[in-house]
Structure 1
Amino acid sequence: MIRTLTARSLSAGASALAGYACSNCARPSVTRVVGNRRSLASIADSPPQSSALSPLVVPPYARLTSNLDKVRKALGNTPLTLAQKIVYAHLVEPDSTTDIKRGTTYLKIRPDRVAMQDASAQTALLQFMLSGLPQTTLPTSVHCDHLITAHSGSDFDVSTSLASEREVYGFLESASRRYGISFWKPGAGIIHQIVLENYAAPGLLMLGCDSHTPNAGGLGAVAIGVGGADAVDAMAGLPWELRAPKTVGVRLQGTLSGWATPKDLILHLAGRLTVQGGTGAILEYFGPGATSMSCTGAATVCNMGAEVGATSSVFPYSDAMRRYLVATGRPHVAAAADEALRAGLLVADAGSESSYDDVIEIDLAKVEPHVNGPFTPDLATPISKFAEMVKEKGWKDEVKACLIGSCTNSSYQDMSRAANLARQALSHGVKARTEFLVAPGSEQIRATVERDGQLGTLVEVGGKVLANACGPCIGQWKREGVSKDEENAIFTSFNRNFRSRNDGFPNTMNFLASPDIVTAMAFAGRLSFNPITDNIISSDGTPFKFEPPQGEDLPANGFAQGREGYAKPADGPAPELDVEVRVEQGSNRLQLLEQFSAWDGKEVESAKVLVKVKGKCTTDHISAAGKWLKYKGHLQNISENTLIGALNDFTGEVNLVRNEVNGSNGTIPEVAKAYKTAGVSWVVVADQNYGEGSAREHAAMQPRYLGCRLIITRSFARIHETNLKKQGILPLTFVDPTAYDVITPGSTVSTVGIASEKVPSSPIKVVVQRPGLETVVIECAHTMSVDQWEWFKAGSALNYIRKTMGV
């Protein structure tokens, strides 16, 4: 019997749309199965609110301190940095710890928490369902922030997403209820801002299915971006494996002033380190300048550590963090952290500077605003030199759009400083001369800046308020007014600017900057504008110059909680075991996963080189977002975008490869599917830092689904390399990077040395047969651990989990 719960039958506080209360909002329902009875339930059905003093939000400081004491003894009481303390305190077996070699030793870790956004949560939950477990074993949350397309404004865009994403939201909500997961509704906020406001805490170690999870380091946590399979390990209560990260200390002297912001610090650092300079390391900020920064400012810096490949980033516990915890309703966490600080857990040991693998010195007083881009976040240019760069490149001196917000820069302080500039402009009769889009990071931020007037000011100058969501930053932007092939410039306070990422237009140049610079650019409309030195013409024709913006880091009247429909869900709700998660047959959005086949125990023989990727190949190139986000829960459908952004060194074209079986040309997905159907094995050869960017595991699952078992590169980005291992793909790197050049069109690849029950020694020999040329043997290295080799043999990490659990 089917029963429909009408909007009238649901309490206003429970409705997913109650927070917006807009007259044009549809109220969709989603299908679930309860026992044998099929019924309809709104995604609004919420578990009871947990106590504000839930112990789940306080890290287990006593246990962590005890663990750390055991590790200290095992390591001979060597002085430890803050990052090392937090990581080692979370070891599963601190008693059996032996010598830890950073960059080499694999650690077994017990995280405190897992967070997932709605795009990555789909496959993570589909994988968790295969584990057979009745509930998650640690606090877990799902945040609906990626699937809302920016177009008409906040209320309309959320309403539209609730209709278009009904099936996915229903799946995520019902799965969350079934397995005891906190579910944050669409429009409640961006995952990393929500985590900072509610879950992050000093000394916490958490995993997040998003590469910008390290944002929580602004509150003293070690937060690490991972793929869904890693999250499943933690959710299932299994030890999570991490190669012991190196620790890079960033000593900060002085304080920021004037136009310089925390965003400029990380933009400057990205220019120094490059997109792979932090790979395999935690960036630990220390020194007097580290404690001078606001909590949300420190979070901005940690957030963009992902852009240099860092495993995580962390700031030491400070008074600014203490004040932020109190302001966000967590004085009990602050009190517990104070005690942990006194116990020595939340501070680096005296003399620990010798334990850093490298130290970078930065004087904050000398940091100036930066503009990074286009097309890569490490192309850093001080604002004082940017006009010269515009002239040298011959770019049109025009800015088409300015966008502030994103998980990187949507705090109260960010919005307040932007509004301060807007008020200055209004006092001279000036409004935005470009499209100006504003995305608050959370409902709490939106409600607070609305109450305190900043939001009204930004709207008055021409700003359009978007939903509390990722929107254009992740490519969810229905952009108008610019043709797809038109070269144009936008300024954003986002974290990434890969080609085509934001609007799908390949010639849009996204320049990353602080919200201050982005807002100032909106009033100038000129690409070469420098707000520190240049004038703007007021409405009466007289020139004026902006004063450096001002803004408080915390609201004087406290944070507003926002609309009722976006209230915080219970933390660690009891699983509703009678809720059966259902995926409709024939759905093109969701697809139950099938196990990947186990390895046959043989060497790879005469595998075709599907594509030899040249240059930068990010996870955006391997598994595009934007319009493809709707297929995140359907592996077969999303595999149609596999490597479509990759430049083939053999052809010199993007997404064009030769089918070596029949001699025809086709797209990369077309040829990969043809090989799979014909039973032809294939591999990918790639350049440096392959898989740079996000934590999206689809970039590993899709090639695996299409038949790939081996990828050889000059180097990998950390998260992507792990994701490949999780899905049963063997990642190899050239011992001699120039060996990349010996791979020629039509080459086939065979391995020598992987047909072993045990982890093969490194290097592994790879035999390359080249049409018309001599056969060459090259050496390749790997980083497989004992457990990871078991994943490969089983066909995937999930297969191995099921095997060990007897599922």
Structure 2
Amino acid sequence: MATDTFSDAIREFEHDGETYKMADLTVLEEQGLCDLDKLPVSIRILLESVLRNADGDQIDADSVRAAASWEPDVPDAEVPFTVSRVVLQDLTGVPAVVDLAALRSAADRKGVDPAVVEPEVPCDLVIDHSVQVDHFGSDDAYEKNVEIEYERNEERYRAIKWAQQAFDEFNVVPPGTGIVHQVNLEHLGRVVHEREVDGDQWLVPDTLVGTDSHTPMIGGIGVVGWGVGGIEAEAALLGQPINMSLPEVVGVRLSGDLPEGATATDLVLHITEKLRQVGVVDKFVEFYGPGVSQLSVADRATISNMAPEQGSTISMFPVDEKTLEYLELTGRDEDHIELVREYLEAQGLFGEQEPEYTETVEFDLNEVEPSLAGHKKPHQRIPMGDLDEHFPTLLEEQGVIGAGGEPAISDGSGAAAADSTGSGPGLPLDEKVPVELEDGTEVEIGHGDVLVSAITSCTNTSNPSVMVGAGLLARNAAEEGLEVPDYVKTSLAPGSRVVTEYLERAELLDDLEELGYHVVGYGCTTCIGNSGPLPEPIENAIDEHDLWTTSVLSGNRNFEARIHPKIQANYLASPPLVVAYGLAGRMDIDLENEPIGTNDDGEEVYLEDIWPDTEEIRQTIHDSISPEMFAEKYASVYEGDERWEALDAPTGEVYDWDDESTYIREPPFFQDFPLEKPGVDNVEDARALLTLGDTVTTDHISPAGLFGEDLPAGQWLTERDVPVHEFNTYGSRRGNHEVMMRGTFANVRITNELLDGKEGGYTVHHPTDEETTVFDASERYREEDTPLIVMAGDELGTGSSRDWAAKGTDLLGIRATIGKSYERIYRDNLIGMGVLPLQFEDGEGWEELGLEGDEYFEISGLEDGLEPNAELDVTAETDDGETVEFSVTAQVDTPMAVEYVENGGVLHLVLRRLLTEELN
């Protein structure tokens, strides 16, 4: 704990007859190191962590001074931040378990006690990303989907159960419980922890990192937490401080009230759009002002959830009376709630704050209107009334139709321009094609029709106002006799079992089910890409007629090919609007002025006729939700059902690897592990594996969804006699590096400009100019001992925090990426795997420099080692000897990040330290 220099800051704190220790920030103020009232709340919490963990070794007195030095014009200072806990979800949690198991195996091979690899901070893994919507629209959909989930993922779940018994402080929330961020908000989050350290009881702020980019949702209750890749989370688990540059902090001043008819989802889409325009990448965001008190904690959490879409590292709210009321509502212990108040008051962290910020943004709640986001980016907000014009314009821009709504003509032959979904004749905007479903039902579909309508995702299922709103709208629609068309795949995936409980108590679940919104699972489902298959006749019609169909979901991500590879346009909306567009059956409609359908008497029904009023929603919530409900549902949160109990998991300290497994395999990262760090050298005679444009997401780099037998990953499984129907998804195979490295840069929508914009995971092998898959090309380059680079535009790696986007990049032999800008988590993950993230100078890019991608590349300036933010020189030389020289900046911000790169990655550094300490 704190060094002698700041020993006075460690004092005793009395509460209800108990004596605790705490790191008192006011002492630093007394010593003249800071003015607490001027420091943003998030910075004060960082400062408390540094102060409490200062040991004179990894964290010294200078670190405390650096954290205390924050001011609006942020000083260039590094802060070692130690979190109080880590949260994992299963798609990133399984790779974390595999890595931890591999670290133990490496220690065991070196003759070191494998238990030296042990989590230093508590960890919760919530299994929520694996359930798929195979069955829907029936009372038994949930049971059938869970049964299939266990069949597909039994081996992965056994590995998780092994970790649960092998590691201390490693808790698992089994399948069918809820979505990680909602479980975190409703149960795991404590705001303040009581912790025993070396025999003493301490009070510490609740802080965390999580292996999902939406971890900042916990900021809704004033907790500092953000998403990291599995690599960085594993390092934090093993006690490694997160070394970060002091962030800029943007204050968003909220004023006004939400108008009648506007939802929290509409609000967050407005804020996401606004903050993307402001530019908050790598920044902390804090909300303050009179409008904060107008928002429920659920509304605040809805906003905080979409911090990654806003671009920020965190988006947090203060802890105030409403926060304590929420803790009470969700079943937290009364004594703990009072402890939270007293501790935060003692630290000056309770209630409304108006500190100094790097930048202040004004936002008036009164300006919010019903909105959606689409067609492929969460910050592309569209007012609801503009959708009827938006969609035809979109199809014209994509070359699907001409100005008159007829199919676009591509070659003068009368054939419609085909896009990547197929090669058949196009369809006019206002025409439909008949489709006979498997059960004999006949439907008609065309451009703009909604094929997936999903109430899903922690963003909105955590918010009773929009969930109850969806239920009341469904009730009103059913009473009018409105029905969802048969071609729409409907689903309801509550974020926790409490949601189902209060919908049942309010007698709204039956109304949702009447329209087809039956519970399909307690997990991310459609939002993570687990929407499941569409009926085969519908998929065939999409291919045959190049249809631009749509999905609408209450999620936070709508990137290309994420929701379903056959659906081209995807829209984010509130749960009530998800139901509304499900009823309409199409997105190219103005629901403000056009009828949503006709009632039993043949009369036109408009959205305003069935939209519930705010007071009805509030009263229903008041009558239907109680603390006992949360206490009951979360009392057995770690137990699981009979399926979980029946899983026969391995035991012991070292995992028993199965060489025949197609799900869990020992990765190559720590095999033949050298005790000497490899360092970093100049890159010579490298080739470009891909040249990419702007906003290449982690979905593009490491897709999570389904894949076929014609791709390298599918070929590898086929060679091992795995039938196609058992392929599962990329996400579920993340414990198998063989599949994941073959799936890297394999998204069906990724566009490699080396192939003149061809979509899919293909590239050119130089110098033969042969077209092949990205993986096969990388293998040829490996055999030729040729290092690789990837060049891209702005926002490289935006999206979900997938460690395999960096792991796969590393395993393909890519030494460096060069982009115009990076999403923070992807950049940090690259560093965590020893890959250099390099950035072009302002105004430059591979296209601006006239590069074709077929050059030889040399990266110099590393002969004497790597420095933080080093400026390096790149030379691109053609076969004819012509050269282009340009400068890049290494996006490696801190000395510790340099250490990671020089060690080949952060886990390599941690393992090297552990082994060296034990062997010496």
TMscore range, shorter length = 0.7 to 0.9
Alpha-carbon distance between aligned partners in 2 of 1:309 and 1:247, rounded to the nearest angstrom: 13
* Residue matched to 2:712: none
Alignment equivalent of 1:136, drawn from 95, 119, 122: 119
How far off its partner does 1:707 sit? 1.3
CA contact (8 A) 2:869 2:891 kept: no
Alignment equivalent of 1:800, drawn from 909, 912, 920: 909
How far off its partner does 1:563 sit? 9.1
1:547 aligns with 2:536: no
TM-score, structure 1 length as denominator? 0.87
1:653 aligns with 2:758: yes
Alignment equivalent of 2:450, drawn from 373, 391, 399: 399
1:119 aligns with 2:119: no
How far off its partner does 1:155 sit? 1.2
How far off its partner does 1:542 sit? 2.2
1:516 aligns with 2:576: yes
Aligned CA distance change for structure 1 residues 746 and 391 (closer, same or farther; 3 Å): closer
* Residue matched to 1:718: 824
How far off its partner does 1:232 sit? 1.5
1:604 aligns with 2:605: no
* Residue matched to 2:167: 179
CA contact (8 A) 1:753 1:760 kept: no
How far off its partner does 1:391 sit? 4.3
How far off its partner does 1:305 sit? 1.3
* Residue matched to 2:549: 488
Alpha-carbon distance between aligned partners in 2 of 1:582 and 1:361, rounded to the nearest angstrom: 56
* Residue matched to 1:346: 349
Alpha-carbon distance between aligned partners in 1 of 2:91 and 2:144, rounded to the nearest angstrom: 21
| Residue aligned with 1:90, SS | helix
Alpha-carbon distance between aligned partners in 2 of 1:399 and 1:793, rounded to the nearest angstrom: 50
CA contact (8 A) 2:243 2:897 kept: no
Aligned CA distance change for structure 1 residues 761 and 342 (closer, same or farther; 3 Å): closer
Alignment equivalent of 1:463, drawn from 511, 517, 521: 517
Alpha-carbon distance between aligned partners in 2 of 1:351 and 1:443, rounded to the nearest angstrom: 37
Equivalent residues in 2 for 1:41-60, closer than 5 Å: none
* Residue matched to 2:298: 296
| Residue aligned with 1:756, SS | coil
| Residue aligned with 2:476, SS | helix
How far off its partner does 1:681 sit? 0.8
CA contact (8 A) 1:410 1:441 kept: yes
Alpha-carbon distance between aligned partners in 1 of 2:335 and 2:25, rounded to the nearest angstrom: 22
Counterpart code for 1:582: D
CA contact (8 A) 2:900 2:906 kept: yes
How far off its partner does 1:450 sit? 2.6
* Residue matched to 1:752: 860
* Residue matched to 2:493: 439
Alpha-carbon distance between aligned partners in 1 of 2:633 and 2:287, rounded to the nearest angstrom: 38
How far off its partner does 1:383 sit? 1.5
CA contact (8 A) 1:187 1:566 kept: no
| Residue aligned with 2:178, SS | coil
How far off its partner does 1:307 sit? 0.9
Alignment equivalent of 2:49, drawn from 90, 96, 105: 90
Unaligned runs of 5+ residues in structure 2 are: 1-17, 55-59, 105-113, 136-140, 192-204, 396-428, 430-446, 641-649, 706-728
CA deviations on 1:693-745 (whole Å, 9 max, x unpaired) are 01111000011112112111111100000000000001110123424222223
* Residue matched to 1:779: 887
Equivalent residues in 2 for 1:245-284, closer than 5 Å: 245-274=247-276, 277-284=279-286
Counterpart code for 1:686: A
CA contact (8 A) 2:779 2:812 kept: yes
- Of stretches 442-451 and 722-731 in structure 1, the one that deviates more from structure 2 is 442-451
Counterpart code for 1:380: R
Number of residue pairs aligned between Structure 1 and Structure 2: 741
CA contact (8 A) 2:91 2:734 kept: yes
How far off its partner does 1:104 sit? 4.3
Equivalent residues in 2 for 1:61-460, closer than 5 Å: 66-67=24-25, 69-70=27-28, 73=31, 75-77=33-35, 79-91=38-50, 92-93=53-54, 95-96=61-62, 97-98=65-66, 99-100=69-70, 102=74, 104-129=76-101, 130=103, 132=114, 133=116, 135-152=118-135, 153-180=141-168, 181-202=170-191, 203-274=205-276, 277-330=279-332, 331-347=334-350, 352=355, 355-393=356-394, 396=447, 398-411=449-462, 412-433=464-485, 434-460=488-514
1:569 aligns with 2:638: yes
| Residue aligned with 1:214, SS | helix
- Of stretches 725-734 and 608-617 in structure 1, the one that deviates more from structure 2 is 608-617
| Residue aligned with 2:24, SS | helix
Alpha-carbon distance between aligned partners in 2 of 1:563 and 1:333, rounded to the nearest angstrom: 18
CA deviations on 1:568-613 (whole Å, 9 max, x unpaired) are 2299xxxx99565333222111111233685464311111111111
Aligned CA distance change for structure 1 residues 61 and 780 (closer, same or farther; 3 Å): farther
Alpha-carbon distance between aligned partners in 2 of 1:666 and 1:297, rounded to the nearest angstrom: 48
CA deviations on 1:4-60 (whole Å, 9 max, x unpaired) are xxxxxxxxxxxxxxxxxxxxxxxxxxxxxxxxxxxxxxxxxxxxxxxxxxxxxxxx9
Alpha-carbon distance between aligned partners in 1 of 2:882 and 2:22, rounded to the nearest angstrom: 58
CA deviations on 1:326-365 (whole Å, 9 max, x unpaired) are 122213342122113422443488651xx31222211112
CA deviations on 1:773-796 (whole Å, 9 max, x unpaired) are 631221111232211112111111
| Residue aligned with 1:392, SS | helix
Alpha-carbon distance between aligned partners in 2 of 1:588 and 1:384, rounded to the nearest angstrom: 49
How far off its partner does 1:667 sit? 1.4
CA contact (8 A) 2:696 2:797 kept: yes
Aligned CA distance change for structure 1 residues 560 and 347 (closer, same or farther; 3 Å): closer
- Of stretches 489-498 and 447-456 in structure 1, the one that deviates more from structure 2 is 447-456
| Residue aligned with 2:766, SS | coil
Alpha-carbon distance between aligned partners in 1 of 2:75 and 2:686, rounded to the nearest angstrom: 31
Aligned CA distance change for structure 1 residues 171 and 256 (closer, same or farther; 3 Å): same
- Of stretches 599-608 and 216-225 in structure 1, the one that deviates more from structure 2 is 599-608
Counterpart code for 1:208: G
Alpha-carbon distance between aligned partners in 2 of 1:349 and 1:560, rounded to the nearest angstrom: 30
| Residue aligned with 2:509, SS | helix
Alpha-carbon distance between aligned partners in 2 of 1:196 and 1:61, rounded to the nearest angstrom: 28
Counterpart code for 1:624: P
Alpha-carbon distance between aligned partners in 1 of 2:246 and 2:388, rounded to the nearest angstrom: 43
Counterpart code for 2:664: L
State the identity as a percent. 26
1:583 aligns with 2:657: yes
* Residue matched to 1:641: 743
Equivalent residues in 2 for 1:496-511, closer than 5 Å: 496-505=557-566, 507-511=567-571
- Of stretches 631-640 and 334-343 in structure 1, the one that deviates more from structure 2 is 334-343
Alpha-carbon distance between aligned partners in 1 of 2:804 and 2:483, rounded to the nearest angstrom: 42
Unaligned runs of 5+ residues in structure 1 are: 1-59
CA deviations on 1:738-770 (whole Å, 9 max, x unpaired) are 242222231121122112245266311112213
How far off its partner does 1:653 sit? 1.4
| Residue aligned with 1:165, SS | helix
* Residue matched to 1:17: none
Aligned CA distance change for structure 1 residues 531 and 356 (closer, same or farther; 3 Å): same
CA deviations on 1:83-128 (whole Å, 9 max, x unpaired) are 2222222224384323347484321011011010111012212223
| Residue aligned with 2:172, SS | strand
Aligned CA distance change for structure 1 residues 159 and 276 (closer, same or farther; 3 Å): farther
Counterpart code for 1:150: V
RMSD: 2.7
Alpha-carbon distance between aligned partners in 1 of 2:826 and 2:519, rounded to the nearest angstrom: 34
CA deviations on 1:208-251 (whole Å, 9 max, x unpaired) are 00001111111111111001121112211221222222111111
CA contact (8 A) 2:474 2:512 kept: yes
* Residue matched to 2:666: 592
* Residue matched to 1:30: none
Alpha-carbon distance between aligned partners in 2 of 1:237 and 1:211, rounded to the nearest angstrom: 21
How far off its partner does 1:262 sit? 1.7
Aligned CA distance change for structure 1 residues 363 and 276 (closer, same or farther; 3 Å): closer
